Amino acid sequence: MAHQKDLPSTAYAILGLLTWGEMSGYDLGKLIEGSIAHFFFRPAKSQIYAELRRLVGRGFATEREVAQDSRPDKRLYAVTPDGRQALRRWLDGSEAGPEVFRSPLCLKVFLGAQMDRETLAAQVKTALLQAEASLAAFQGDEREIAGRPEFFYPNFVLQRGIAHERATILWASDVLKALEQEQEREGA
């Protein structure tokens, strides 16, 4: 049997999502896009299928073909008992490690003295609008899952996403205000 260190965290993420039920690679991609893509990873379709093949090869997932009338046959994947055990070992045994925050916008703001101020302000404004849209989407998700016990744990991460978007909105607003004040001082 393979050891937990043999798989990347992306494989365990996919394995964990398969615990929600049997699904196709396409369905898995949609689930990722609506959930863990916000905070963990947004894989290419090819990566999803590569990880599914790896999980099946390790005996951590099963694969079966389902005939469809008007569309090509599809493959459905499900977690196996060995897969559940491997996932549990990984979840219990691995350290989460420090969070990594990567933001090209923060780098641009950090190096803002080298940029045209109006260009920087436009990019910060775009980020502000994106954060507002994400916050609205997260709040819609929050209303949709309210009181549903199967979303008890995912709701904690959703709340983190809401807090992050609110912090981004506040930060971007402060940056825009400071840039505007700086421009007024220079113009005086």
Q: Residue-wise over 159-184: b if at least 16 C-beta within 10 A, else e?
A: eebbebbeebbebbeebbeebeeeee
Q: What is the pLDDT of residues 136-177, one digit of tens each?
A: 999 999 999 999 999 999 999 999 999 999 999 999 999 999
Q: Which of 172, 178, 165, 177 is nearest to 124 (CA)?
A: 172
d(CA 61, CA 76): 10
Distance from chain centroid for Cα 144: 18
Residue 125 pLDDT greater than 50, yes or no: yes
Residue 79 pLDDT greater than 80, yes or no: yes
d(CA 117, CA 182): 10
Q: In this structure, is residue 44 part of a structural domain?
A: yes
Q: What is the reported pLDDT for 5?
A: 52
Same domain, yes or no: 138 and 83: no
Same domain, yes or no: 41 and 108: no
Q: What is the reported pLDDT for 1?
A: 45
pTM of the complete model beyond 0.85: no
Averaged pLDDT score across all residues of the chain: 90
Q: In this structure, is residue 99 part of a structural domain?
A: no
Give the percent of the chain with pLDDT over 70: 96
What is the number of domains present in the chain?
Answer: 2
Same domain, yes or no: 54 and 112: no
Residue 3 pLDDT greater than 50, yes or no: no
- Residue 122 CB neighbours (<10 A): 12
d(CA 132, CA 142): 15
Q: Tokens in use for 34? A: 């609506």
Q: The domain containing residue 164 runs over which residues?
A: 104-187
Domain boundary among 72, 93, 114: 93
Domain boundary among 71, 93, 115: 93
Q: What average pLDDT does this structure show over 17-22?
A: 94
Q: What is the reported pLDDT for 2?
A: 44
Q: In this structure, is residue 98 part of a structural domain?
A: no
Is there a contact between 40 and 121 (Cβ–Cβ < 8 Å)? no
Q: What are phi and psi of 96, to 5 degrees?
A: -70, -35
Find the angle CA(43)-CA(12)-CA(53) to the nearest 5 degrees. Answer: 70
Maximal C-alpha separation, the chain: 73
Domain boundary among 93, 117, 147: 93
d(CA 78, CA 161): 28
Is residue 50 helix, strand or coil? helix
44 pLDDT band (50/70/90 cuts)? confident
4 pLDDT band (50/70/90 cuts)? very low
Residue 115 pLDDT greater than 50, yes or no: yes
Between 112 and 3, where is the model more confident? 112
Q: What average pLDDT does this structure show over 32-39?
A: 83
